[in-house]
Amino acid sequence: MTDISDTNLAVSRVNPKLIGTVEVTLEAYLGTARLTVADLTALTADSVVPLDARLSQPVELRLGGQAVARGDLVAVDDHYGVRLTEIVRWPD
């Protein structure tokens, strides 16, 4: 069994440069849609699924399901991007 104080000590020795190289995946959350199973199975390649989000509503960036930032959807060449307007404050 590991003592909590031993765990905290081990974490404090991790080199910040090592942590900085870890890759993570951010997810852009636009909104949700509620469908019946019948509606879901009726979707085709040209179907449009309306979301509960407004066009002016900020996009939320999530890391591991937790919001880390919000921003506006923008075009970047032929891709989408998010211009950050808010960074979520992490608990101390």
Q: Which domains does the chain have, with CATH numbers?
A: 24-87 (2.30.330.10)
Give 56-88 pLDDT, tens digit per residue: 889 999 999 999 999 999 999 999 999 999 999
Average pLDDT, the chain: 87
User: The sheet that has 26-29: what strands, in order across it?
Assistant: 26-29, 59-63, 66-76, 79-87
SS3 63: strand
SS3 42: coil
This prediction has a pTM of: 0.67
